Chains A and B, each alone.
Chain A
């Protein structure tokens, strides 16, 4: 890390990395790191799988298929206990909450606590390595972003730049996991940030493409479910069926999301019982895996089976039901893992069923058309599950390389998206990404309040904080103001960087000046329930302030709003509001 910092310092002294072009430099760096860390994460989980199942550990279902029945159960039970103990340790011993990367980008300041998150990553590696029915992409992306956050803070990046670096590393990680350079960037842009702008998308794509390139060199970047022969005949009848598939997949996804929420509420209650809960989930799924090893892993094996027509209808019916139960069980019991691949799997199987239903009704479909409908079902299902139509489309195109599916895909995805909007379906990422601007985009301008676009700020101090303490915060995060609060978190005032900049390294003042001496009480203060438009006016009238504090009705410090966010958010909401009115 020291060498990296030195090299960066050398480059920074010669190139203006804080400028607009510097973003691309960091995007390339984050792409390289993302690919390497992602590969390391995969190797670690493969190693654990090989130990648990006495196999090569490269593929979960294959490893479970060749393992002894007792090994299947033991692997999942022991993996659950170990992962549960690690999570318990993280919950009890580490004070800081493991901030999800989506939150760090959408409402946070780019700070992702290292210890808590790395412990969760370790638990995820054990869970995934033991064969649990859960995706690896979520914890893998989280792990990559932890390192990105650490790197950004060590190199004193501004908050805006740090958040973009984390977003870039997430895009790079997605690209490395799914071998999808375009969908990797789109995923972060559409789901996490919520704005499709070339200024934001370009660095994300630079990162995801770099990651893809690195993966090509040091690993394998072949499409995950390649079947370029998959197609759907485009005629009026088939398009009607595609529309129907879009509607049904959206409803199915809604049911899936409700089920996930309910199982989590029902089963994931007391943190103390995590090892026992995960062991129970492991025992149940381990027992099922004796007859149906396909229920283990993230579901990639099932998708591969569908796109290569390896499954018969009756076989996959049982697998679908058991897979849904297994994923919901692990997810509900509190396992650390993603539900992206499991969601794609369920969507794919749903499309497969739909194609067979059409055949049953007398519609003649070839094998490649069945695959085509399966892939369309996957995209339509994921569109509602993740509230991400563009990402869904590009994901399945890059998965299969079946470009001829683009037209029916657009139809199904748009229909699914329309149904999800009409039914107000909350995506599986809603909780992590809803705070901040992302959540405000769906509201009409007049109902958006300042609290809808706030960002959390940990940069608060007491009135007696020394000058040294304040200076350290500014050195770490030089962009915004530091706010002064009372013990009961009441807002008192703010300290501007411009006021103390020339003294920031002064040893003379370090302990002789306190926050109260350098605090301003004339910084405009925004109220949580103030309409967004009033906040915009206040920012426009006060051009010297890059951020402003938000307080609630009891004058308690709530967070901050920064200039970029408020104007970008206002612009985006205004555009969408105008479209709605037209």
Chain B
């Protein structure tokens, strides 16, 4: 997905939540939303190089959810010092810690090794890369 709205972190997150809302049960969705916001309150999920990985661990999530959003205008995550141009939201079951770490590791490695400028990436190319990476 592509986000062209304000540089506000909350707006970007709400946009992403809006996109994934229908893909899971409303109970799981509410829990994930709460978990993601709580995690951001604890510490920023900006990992550097224009990449932010907000995430939440939720009880009873049936599968792993990864949503990728390109933000060509940049989003303050949460301040100007950390401008996220790609936001990858991860939702995993609370007990699947290894799965979460594995997904996160793959995403960060992919970003580091691809070396491509986020502005030059298309949604289709990113989707293909992620499908390939997480397969």
Residues of A within 8 A of B (CB): 463-464, 496, 499-500, 502-503, 506, 508-509, 512-514, 516-518, 520-522
Contact for B55 among A464, A499, A517, A522, CB less than 8 A: A517
* Chain B residue with the shortest CB-CB distance to A503: B101
- B104 touches A (CB below 8 Å): yes
Quick one: CB contact mask for B40-62 with A, threshold 8 Å, 1 for yes?
A: 00110001000001010100000
Min C-beta distance of B1 to chain A, whole Å: 23
* Chain A residue with the shortest CB-CB distance to B98: A499
- A-B contacts counted at CB < 8 A amount to 50
Min C-beta distance of A496 to chain B, whole Å: 8
Distance A518 CA – B108 CA, assembled complex (angstroms): 17
* Chain A residue with the shortest CB-CB distance to B90: A517
Q: Which of B43, B95, B101, B102 has the most chain A CB atoms inside 10 A of its CB?
A: B101
Interface of B is mostly: helix
- Whether B98 contacts A516 by the Cβ 8 Å rule is no
- Whether B43 contacts A514 by the Cβ 8 Å rule is yes
Distance A518 CA – B94 CA, assembled complex (angstroms): 9
Min C-beta distance of B58 to chain A, whole Å: 12
- Whether B39 contacts A517 by the Cβ 8 Å rule is yes
A500-B101, A503-B101, A520-B95 given; A512·B53 CB < 8 A: yes
A499-B98, A500-B97, A500-B98 given; A516·B42 CB < 8 A: yes
* Chain A residue with the shortest CB-CB distance to B111: A508
A512-B108, A514-B43, A517-B55 given; A502·B100 CB < 8 A: no
Further 19 A-B residue pairs, CB within 8 A, beyond A509-B104, A512-B108, A522-B95? A463-B42, A496-B97, A499-B97, A499-B98, A499-B101, A502-B98, A503-B101, A503-B102, A508-B105, A508-B112, A509-B108, A513-B101, A514-B42, A516-B42, A517-B57, A517-B97, A517-B100, A520-B97, A522-B94
Min C-beta distance of A514 to chain B, whole Å: 5
Min C-beta distance of B110 to chain A, whole Å: 10
Inter-chain contacts of A502 with B (CB < 8 A): 98
**Which residues of B in the span 24-48 have a Cβ within 8 Å of any Cβ on A?**
39, 42-43, 47
* Chain B residue with the shortest CB-CB distance to A495: B97
Min C-beta distance of B40 to chain A, whole Å: 11
Inter-chain contacts of A516 with B (CB < 8 A): 39, 42-43
Distance A512 CA – B88 CA, assembled complex (angstroms): 14
Distance A499 CA – B100 CA, assembled complex (angstroms): 10
Distance A513 CA – B55 CA, assembled complex (angstroms): 11
Distance A496 CA – B94 CA, assembled complex (angstroms): 13
- Whether B42 contacts A509 by the Cβ 8 Å rule is no
Looking at chain B, what size class is its interface with the partner chain? 10 to 19
Min C-beta distance of B41 to chain A, whole Å: 10
Min C-beta distance of A155 to chain B, whole Å: 28
* Chain A residue with the shortest CB-CB distance to B105: A508
Min C-beta distance of A464 to chain B, whole Å: 5
- Whether B101 contacts A509 by the Cβ 8 Å rule is yes
Show 8 A/B contacts (Cβ-Cβ < 8 Å), sorted by A: A463-B42, A464-B42, A499-B97, A508-B105, A509-B108, A513-B101, A516-B43, A522-B95
- Whether B104 contacts A512 by the Cβ 8 Å rule is yes
A464-B42, A464-B43, A508-B109 given; A513·B98 CB < 8 A: no
- Whether A518 contacts B97 by the Cβ 8 Å rule is yes
Inter-chain contacts of A517 with B (CB < 8 A): 39, 55, 57, 97, 100
Distance A464 CA – B39 CA, assembled complex (angstroms): 10
Inter-chain contacts of A520 with B (CB < 8 A): 94-95, 97
Inter-chain contacts of A512 with B (CB < 8 A): 47, 53, 104, 108
* Chain B residue with the shortest CB-CB distance to A464: B43
Q: Which of A506, A513, A514 has the most chain B CB atoms inside 10 A of its CB?
A: A513
Distance A314 CA – B110 CA, assembled complex (angstroms): 90
A464-B42, A508-B109 given; A513·B104 CB < 8 A: yes
Min C-beta distance of B28 to chain A, whole Å: 17
- Whether A508 contacts B43 by the Cβ 8 Å rule is no
Min C-beta distance of A182 to chain B, whole Å: 50
A512-B47, A517-B55 given; A503·B105 CB < 8 A: yes
Q: Which of A509, A512, A520, A522 has the most chain B CB atoms inside 10 A of its CB?
A: A512
Quick one: CB contact mask for B76-120 with A, threshold 8 Å, 1 for yes?
A: 000000000000000000110110111011001100100000000
Inter-chain contacts of B43 with A (CB < 8 A): 464, 514, 516
- Whether B42 contacts A518 by the Cβ 8 Å rule is no
Inter-chain contacts of B53 with A (CB < 8 A): 512
Inter-chain contacts of B95 with A (CB < 8 A): 520, 522
Min C-beta distance of A225 to chain B, whole Å: 61
* Chain A residue with the shortest CB-CB distance to B100: A517
Distance A503 CA – B98 CA, assembled complex (angstroms): 8
Distance A509 CA – B47 CA, assembled complex (angstroms): 9
* Chain A residue with the shortest CB-CB distance to B59: A522
- Pairs of residues from A and B, 6 with the lowest C-beta to C-beta distance, nearest first: A499-B97, A512-B47, A503-B101, A508-B108, A518-B97, A508-B105
